[in-house]
């Protein structure tokens, strides 16, 4: 890792959303801008962030079932725990922050918001000096015929943002908090309030998963895998050994290896 780069060499433009807007608007912006999380502002001040994980949590909460997704505001899904860095600071300060937070807010010398840094911004410039399997995390799996309400519960209880989807011994897809948030939003916008509690239980993981799966073999080079993730704009890649699941490369696991 080079120490000649500073935060201003890596940062991208800040993507913000108002605390008062509906969570549907925040989700649309996340998908359009291909960013997660968003910086949340109120009265021109940063008050936290909002992530796809927290949107999926709120959209699936039973106590909100009688509300339209457009009636739930970003303030209800706000995470007030965020961190900042200054544009002239170096990677030795930035990397440890990104190992704890998905996004780091960038200020200038006058404490004004001028940028943000995510794992993707860093991985365009800096790569771990490791082999593929040493960077891979344990891959958590879920059956394709499992109900989405149970998937969402596991995500929250076990703090797992994505699962590999299996059908028997075969890996058939990946399902993430993004898939859950998008599917629950569509469901709640199309199904009447009095039918939601019953019908939501009919949505299966196979209905919302991303498929076909993008995976790599264990002999792939780590730089090639990182290039694949950045090119395809995906947050994870399952690692296979002779057709069997061996682990998962994620952007966070790559940052942890720096």
Residue 83, domain CATH: 3.10.580.10
- At residue 115, the pLDDT reads 98
Q: In this structure, are 178 and 78 located in the same domain?
A: no
Q: Smallest Cα–Cα separation from 40: which of 59, 4, 22, 15?
A: 15
Residue 77 CA to residue 104 CA, distance in Å, equals: 19
* Domain count within the chain: 2
Query: Residues 32, 102: one domain?
Result: yes
Largest CA distance in the chain: 59
Rounded Cα–Cα distance for residues 47 and 58 (Å): 19
Q: Which residue among 86, 106, 123 closes a domain?
A: 123
Q: State which residues form the domain around 37.
A: 7-123
Whether the per-residue pLDDT at 192 is higher than 70: the answer is: no
Residue 83 in any domain: the answer is yes
Do residues 52 and 36 touch, judged by C-beta distance below 8 A?
yes
Asked if residue 226 is part of any domain, the answer here is yes
Q: Do 97 and 193 fall into the same domain? A: no
39 domain-assigned: yes
Beta strands in the chain (DSSP E): 16-18, 38-42, 45-50, 84-86, 103-107, 113-118, 141-143, 162-167, 170-176, 216-217, 236-241, 244-250
User: Does residue 57 share a domain with residue 156?
Assistant: no
Q: Is pLDDT of 2 > 70?
A: no
Asked if pLDDT for residue 254 goes beyond 90, the answer is yes
pLDDT tens digits, one per residue of 194-245: 556 667 778 999 999 999 999 999 999 999 999 999 999 999 999 999 989 9
Q: How far apart are CA 141 and CA 173, in angstroms?
A: 10
Is residue 114 a contact partner of residue 15, using CB atoms and an 8 Å limit?
Answer: no
Per DSSP, the three-state class of 124 is: coil
Do 74 and 149 belong together in one domain? Answer: no
């Amino acid at each position: 890792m080079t120490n000649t780069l500073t935060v201003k060499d890596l940062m991208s433009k800040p993507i913000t959303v108002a605390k008062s807007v509906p969570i549907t608007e925040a989700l649309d912006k996340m998908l359009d801008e291909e960013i997660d999380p968003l910086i949340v502002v109120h009265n021109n001040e940063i008050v936290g962030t909002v992530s796809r994980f927290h949107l999926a949590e709120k959209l699936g909460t039973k106590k909100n079932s009688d509300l339209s997704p457009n009636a739930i505001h970003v303030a209800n899904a706000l995470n007030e725990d965020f961190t900042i860095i200054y544009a002239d600071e170096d990677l030795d300060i930035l990397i440890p922050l990104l190992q704890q937070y998905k996004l780091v807010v960038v200020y200038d010398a006058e404490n004004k918001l001028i940028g943000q840094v995510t794992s993707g911004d860093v991985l365009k410039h800096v790569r771990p000096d490791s082999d593929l399997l040493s960077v891979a995390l344990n891959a958590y799996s879920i059956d394709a015929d499992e109900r989405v309400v149970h998937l969402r519960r596991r995500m929250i209880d076990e703090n797992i943002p994505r699962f590999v989807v299996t059908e028997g011994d075969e890996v058939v897809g990946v399902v993430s908090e993004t898939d859950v948030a998008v599917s629950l939003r569509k469901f709640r916008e199309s199904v009447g309030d009095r039918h939601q509690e019953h019908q939501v239980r009919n949505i299966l993981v196979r209905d919302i998963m991303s498929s076909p799966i993008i995976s790599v073999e264990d002999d792939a080079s780590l730089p090639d895998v990182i290039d694949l993730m950045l090119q395809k704009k995906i947050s994870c890649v399952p690692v296979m050994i002779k057709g069997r699941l061996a682990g998962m490369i994620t952007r966070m696991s790559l940052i942890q290896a720096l």
